[in-house]
Amino acid sequence: MQVQITVNKKPRTDEVEPRQLLVHYLRDTAGLKATNVGCDTTSCGACTVLLDGVSVKSCTVLTAQADGGTVVTVEGLGGTADGGQMHPVQSAFREEHGLQCGFCTPGMVMASVGLLSENPNPTEHEVREGLEGNYCRCTGYHNILRAVLLAAQSPDAGKPEAQVSA
Amino acid sequence: MIPAPFDYVRATSAEHILELMAQHGDEAKLLAGGHSLLPMMKVRLASPTVLIDIASVPELSYVKVDGDDLVIGATTSHATVANSDLIQADAPLLSYAAAQIGDPQIRHRGTIGGSLAHSDPAADLPMTLVALDGTFELLGPSGTRSVKAEDFFIGYFETALEHDEIISAVRVPRRPGVGWGYEKFTRRANDWAIVGIATVAGRVAMANMGSIPARPVATEQALAGGQGIAEAAALAADGIEPAGDMHATTAYRQHLARVLTRRALETAASRNQA
Amino acid sequence: MSILGTRVVRNEDPELLTKGGTYTDDLIDERLDGAAHLIFVRSPVAHARILSIDTSEALKLPGVVAVYTAADVDLPIINPPMPMFNQDMTQTPLASDKVRYVGEPVAIVVCDDPYIREDAAELVEVEYDILPAVIGMPNAAKDEVLLWESVGTNTVVDFGTPDDLDPNLFDDCEVVVSHLIQNQRIHPAPMESRSGAASWPEGERLTAWIPSQGAQGAKAALAAQLGIDAAEVHVLTPDVGGAFGARFGADVEMVLTAWVAGKLHRPMRWSETRYENLLAMTHGRAQEQRVTIGGSRDGNMKKYRLEVLADCGAYPKIGGILPSLTRLMTPGTYVFDKAESIAKAVVTNTTPIGAYRGAGRPEATAAIERAVDIFAAEIGMDPADVRRKNLVPKFTEPHLTAFGALYDSGDYETALNKALEAANYEDLRKEQQLRRERGDAKQLGIGMSSYVEITGAGSESGDPNENATVEVHPDGTVTILTGTSPHGQGHATAWAMMASDTLGIGIDKITVIHGDTDLIPKGGGTGGSRSLQQGGMAVQKASIELVDIARTRAAELLEANEADLQFNIDDSGFSVAGVPSSTVTLAKLAEKERLFINAVFAAPGATFPFGAHLAVVEVDVETGKATLERIFCVDDAGVVMNPLLFDGQRHGGIAQGAAQAFLEEFIYDEDGNPLTASFADYPFLSATEVPSFDLVSMVTPTTYNPMGVKGVGEAGTIGATPAVQNAVVDAVSHLGVRHIDMPTSPRVVWEAIEAARSNSNSNGKVA
């Protein structure tokens, strides 16, 4: 079947199998390899992207369901794809050492952007609850929490297109 | 993990859904958020050959007031239910319960109708709708019929839905200011309830205490008869024999039911402004 | 000012944050163009004879390239990896006559399109004759049902026997307490499941991409299991999404991926589902321990005995050797008149056991720290006081234990006191007393651990050494080749800091390369918390030697005596004393002739970091649910080279350690069916189950390397687990509870409370 999806601001038209999962569309059809599959069971959140502005687990969404929609992955955050700066959430994850092996990171960052879009000034507790669907084995979440709280100091950290100043 | 192959068709109206269901019969499954169905398809516990996507049918997604009731369209997402001002004011138990489902990503995709039609006794919404004394509107070829929540759930993943029917809406009584309590006992925040309790206005329903949301009749009768919360809650597991699993034995579930019922009733009493 | 010891953010991060890492499944490489995709048909039963395998239906599916079973695979038998193991417990890469655990590979299906892999695997029909499963170490030790009938026993190895135990050990003890303790099976659960890729064109060498903790070890294992010369193998390590001890060597799936690539002369890719990962990546821990401790009522601990029964799973792997490490660390941080330990390792019909963060040492600490608390409870003494009374006093010269461990430096009492002070221990005890008196539903538990562990015991090849090559290029950039194998630890930053500090070149100009066996033939990989103290030290040593070489060349160039040359860190160059205009940079020197050196740093031995953790939990005594409120951690791993990375390692370990104490367990039913084979069922810790961690610093340098560093990667899983477990028990100790096995899940805690209540009721006491 044919789908039309805007991925990281670029409209695409692709022929896909009805059973294709959105995460495989992003990785294999669109060639965006940052979004990872961590668990297959909608548990770990490594595959989190923004679909029509809200965070979703792309391993549990069919490409077909996203037909006509807009997707943002970590590659499309901030301005680095066009030579610009990192998004405030990306920058804060680096500053606070909110990542180690990096495998959960694209999903964790997208979930954080989604969280901040809905709640720009979360408390510690709200950050923890807001990321309950994203697993990390390396950091114990300590620095992820700090990173999200740091990013929240940027007023537009909930907007995918936001960039830190150079 | 990838589902077995299937055909995908997107419905454009409620009428279209019924047509597609008639056309494809038992081979078809309805897809709304897909957060109950797709996980089962990925592990191949379900392999429908046609998926009818009802998520973009406009007349199935809404929250509105209808006299003494709130009416919620079947494909309204958990996030919308959780954040709706109308529901928070008139049926706060429902918005709270919706906010306890899964995690934010799941709440963005999962729908109220999908969760109820899935009929998982450990889930948040079935017990909540039973406690709320909700009513489901079931749309079929011969029109719409209403079924009480407590009559809707028949067994594990089994409901009163006929094969050619869909849930079109969920109706709950408006009860602003009436105290309510909700206890979801889990090991981790995003787990299914080991035992869950929802209570409002003297009705109590329990998650994961059997194949359908359980009603502790003895507790409700004791409350109606004027007994105190502690006495009534002590009866919460009477006649209820939940199965054991790796998280809980039958006896432990029964014990949790008593403790959590007491806590939920205490919370409800403290919140009551009616 | 030296960059060493300062907080430096990572060089790795911009790419990981904006493009994502390049994990094996993400590889785009022309050598893999046109690759086919493998899937393994795995045993759904724990113990069975294979009667027949029918691959015909799978072969009919369009897009299926080939299907292989054990009959097709002409590879060497896999022998148990340690000479002291029972050598008859052999394995074939694909199960041949028998399957021995759920998840064991039985057949390979090769497909053009990854989307049909699962469709095809479902079509392979295997007929099994089901045998009784051996589940549980005591059952295995009975030898009633055998995994290898011809071997005659399920025992893999004995480290001492009951005859070695002193029957009179506890004769002089006023008080003797004993308890059976479970150190449960857990899954390493890196976020990236396993995968692999291979290219093996006819007449050429094999190139294999293996996400591992050490390409060189993976290469050796791969060559051995393929039965070919190691020179025929080139191993590359893509980015690795976590390992935690479970990614050393080459798993059979990777060997078979390479084998199929060679058989079909077509590139192959393999990646597993999380379900497969939970079944077939090695598990960790899985010990049953009997601790017995004796002493006097004034709190003097005199004797200690640890008897270990360890599960190897279905095939003896590294897990079989770990009880010897547990044994080595038997007495922990304490002085005993005598301590003794024996261990036995057995096979069961479960997933094989391998290393998991700490690997044998956490099990030792968990045992002794529980034993101390049980002893303290028996004599009615504060567990902090009992510990203080019995700790090995501060030492600066190496301390040799009766078990042969040579602790390099330590000050255990200071570590414990720092943890107690940070937590305001006395106040916590007062708060606990208040809650007990009020009969609150939420009771407070305070638990502590004192630990010492082993880091940098050796590389995979044995000796505690590592090599590094450092090269300065004419453009002023630097390349470092390291034999370590980072997968989250930050070596690209840390090794750049080491070189930068000596060479005077900014870390943004330094590239660190690892995991390519052609470029870096030797290396011990990353594991056992060895990397900084050996690999980092090798980078520093190479950098220093590089400056020495450069000095000789600069002397020639500047026509000066070497002794008159000064190396200036600020501009990365030499100048002649007294002649300010006469200078040359390292980059300039590299223009004439390549400027590089390989150096090996050899440590005199392992180092023994130590510390103390104090956990504060709340236990809801009505439901049994325990919640971790605070955890105060003193982790002394010597000098700190980058506090950001150092603390990051602690955080992750603390979380994993706490998760073992109160959440995680990989569970089998009595037939060997796994009950926790998805992340929906395996209780992976989320952000909502842990607090932020309170880290307390303490630095006791080692003399074993110039910087004074030890390893910190495993501190958290060693210190936190017993602290949290002790805290949960402590929260309900006033109800008569003396011990609760891990994981201290709500049901287990509630049942312990109920048992204690009915026990004290039957004794005529008031609960």
Q: Looking at the structure, do residues B232 and B219 belong to the same domain, yes or no?
A: yes
| C chain contacts of residue B250, beta-carbon cutoff 8 Å | none
C148 shares contact with chain B (CB less than 8 Å): no
Confidence at residue C459, expressed as pLDDT on a 0 to 100 scale = 54
Instruction: Let me know if residue C55 belongs to a domain.
Output: yes
Between C17, C115, C644, which is nearest A105 by CB? C17
| A chain contacts of residue C16, beta-carbon cutoff 8 Å | 99, 102, 105
Q: How many Å separate Cα C11 from the centre of its chain? A: 24
Q: Looking at the structure, do residues C621 and C756 belong to the same domain, yes or no?
A: yes
Whether B184 shows a pLDDT value over 60: the answer reads yes
Mutate to test the interface with A, among C18, C113, C194, C681 (most CBs of A within 10 A): C18
Between B2, B44, B247, which is nearest C747 by CB? B247
Domain boundary among B157, B173, B189: B173
Q: What are the residue ranges of helices labelled H in C380-485?
A: 383-390, 412-422, 425-438
Instruction: Let me know if residue C714 belongs to a domain.
Output: yes
Instruction: Let me know if residue C29 belongs to a domain.
Output: no
Instruction: Let me know if residue C446 belongs to a domain.
Output: yes
Q: Indicate the DSSP class of residue C191.
A: S
Query: Domains in chain A and their CATH numbers?
Result: 2-76 (3.10.20.30), 80-151 (1.10.150.120)
pLDDT tens readout for residues B115-161: 999 999 999 999 999 999 999 999 999 999 999 999 999 999 999 99
Q: Looking at the structure, do residues C441 and C474 belong to the same domain, yes or no?
A: no
Confidence at residue C582, expressed as pLDDT on a 0 to 100 scale = 85
Q: Looking at the structure, do residues C377 and C507 belong to the same domain, yes or no?
A: no
pLDDT tens readout for residues C604-646: 999 999 999 999 999 999 999 999 999 999 999 999 999 999 9
A75 shares contact with chain C (CB less than 8 Å): yes
Q: Looking at the structure, do residues C664 and C733 belong to the same domain, yes or no?
A: yes
State whether the Cα torsion C217-C218-C222-C225 is positive or negative.
Answer: positive
Q: How many domains does chain C have?
A: 3
What is the domain-level CATH number for residue B85? 3.30.465.10
What is the domain-level CATH number for residue C87? 3.90.1170.50
Instruction: Let me know if residue B193 belongs to a domain.
Output: yes
Domain boundary among B123, B156, B173: B173
Q: Looking at the structure, do residues B80 and B116 belong to the same domain, yes or no?
A: yes
Confidence at residue C462, expressed as pLDDT on a 0 to 100 scale = 65
Those chains having 3 or more beta-carbon pairs within 8 angstroms of chain C are A, B
Asked if the Cβ–Cβ distance from C241 to A135 is below 8 Å, we say no
Q: Looking at the structure, do residues B64 and B122 belong to the same domain, yes or no?
A: yes
Confidence at residue C764, expressed as pLDDT on a 0 to 100 scale = 46
ipTM of the complex: 0.98
C501 shares contact with chain A (CB less than 8 Å): no
Instruction: Let me know if residue B84 belongs to a domain.
Output: yes
Question: 10 Å Cβ neighbour count for B186?
Answer: 19
Q: Looking at the structure, do residues C645 and C744 belong to the same domain, yes or no?
A: yes
Q: Looking at the structure, do residues B124 and B156 belong to the same domain, yes or no?
A: yes
Q: Looking at the structure, do residues C656 and C568 belong to the same domain, yes or no?
A: no
**Residues of A near B (CB-CB distance < 8 A)?**
1, 17-19, 21, 24, 40-43, 45, 48, 54-57, 59-62, 64-65, 67, 111, 114-115, 118, 129-130, 132-134
- Report the percent of chain B where pLDDT is more than 90: 98
| B chain contacts of residue A130, beta-carbon cutoff 8 Å | 104
Instruction: Let me know if residue C193 belongs to a domain.
Output: no
Confidence at residue C84, expressed as pLDDT on a 0 to 100 scale = 96
| A chain contacts of residue C18, beta-carbon cutoff 8 Å | 74-75, 77-78, 80-81, 86, 90
Q: Looking at the structure, do residues C372 and C484 belong to the same domain, yes or no?
A: no
Nearest Cα residue in chain A from B192: A43
Q: Looking at the structure, do residues C295 and C427 belong to the same domain, yes or no?
A: yes
Q: Looking at the structure, do residues C55 and C89 belong to the same domain, yes or no?
A: yes
CB burial of C455-492 (b: ≥16 within 10 Å; e: otherwise) equals bbbbbbeeebbbbbbbbbbeeebbbbbbbbbbbbbbbb
pLDDT tens readout for residues A57-99: 999 999 999 999 999 999 999 999 999 999 999 999 999 999 9
Q: Looking at the structure, do residues B143 and B96 belong to the same domain, yes or no?
A: yes
Instruction: Let me know if residue B1 belongs to a domain.
Output: no
Give the B window 41-80 contacts with A, CB below 8 Å.
42-43, 51, 53, 55, 79
Q: Which residues of chain A have pLDDT under 70?
A: none
| B chain contacts of residue C745, beta-carbon cutoff 8 Å | 187, 247
Asked if the Cβ–Cβ distance from C686 to A127 is below 8 Å, we say no
Confidence at residue C76, expressed as pLDDT on a 0 to 100 scale = 97
| C chain contacts of residue A124, beta-carbon cutoff 8 Å | 692
Instruction: Let me know if residue B2 belongs to a domain.
Output: no
Cβ atoms of C621 and C470 closer than 8 Å: no
| Position B273 confidence tier, pLDDT thresholds 50, 70, 90 | confident
Instruction: Let me know if residue C272 belongs to a domain.
Output: no
Between B4, B246, B255, which is nearest C119 by CB? B4
Domain boundary among B113, B146, B173: B173
Cα of first residue to Cα of last residue in chain A, in angstroms, is 43
Domain boundary among C76, C105, C131: C131
Q: Looking at the structure, do residues C403 and C428 belong to the same domain, yes or no?
A: yes
Q: How many Å separate Cα C167 from the centre of its chain? A: 36
Q: Looking at the structure, do residues C584 and C616 belong to the same domain, yes or no?
A: no
pLDDT tens readout for residues B212-264: 999 999 999 999 999 999 999 999 999 999 999 999 999 999 999 999 999 99
Distance (Å) from the C-alpha of residue B117 to the closest C-alpha of chain C? 21
Domain boundary among C131, C146, C175: C131
Those chains having 3 or more beta-carbon pairs within 8 angstroms of chain A are B, C
Asked if the Cβ–Cβ distance from B38 to A1 is below 8 Å, we say no
Task: State which residues form the domain around B98.
Answer: 58-173
Q: Looking at the structure, do residues B192 and B264 belong to the same domain, yes or no?
A: yes
What is the domain-level CATH number for residue B15? 3.30.43.10
Q: Looking at the structure, do residues B137 and B87 belong to the same domain, yes or no?
A: yes
Instruction: Name beta bridge partners: C391.
Output: C334
Instruction: Name beta bridge partners: B137.
Output: B146, B169
Q: Looking at the structure, do residues B62 and B169 belong to the same domain, yes or no?
A: yes
Q: Looking at the structure, do residues B118 and B145 belong to the same domain, yes or no?
A: yes
Asked if the Cβ–Cβ distance from B3 to A19 is below 8 Å, we say yes
DSSP codes of every residue in C238-306: -B-S--TT--SS--HHHHHHHHHHHHHTS-EEEE--HHHHHHHS-BEEEEEEEEEEEE-TTS-EEEEEE
Confidence at residue C766, expressed as pLDDT on a 0 to 100 scale = 40
Task: State which residues form the domain around C44.
Answer: 35-131
What is the domain-level CATH number for residue C637? 3.30.365.10
| A chain contacts of residue B190, beta-carbon cutoff 8 Å | 43, 132-133
Confidence at residue C501, expressed as pLDDT on a 0 to 100 scale = 97
Q: What value does the mean pLDDT of chain B take?
A: 97
Q: Which residues of chain C have pLDDT under 50?
A: 764-767
Q: How many domains does chain B have?
A: 3
Q: Looking at the structure, do residues C316 and C441 belong to the same domain, yes or no?
A: yes
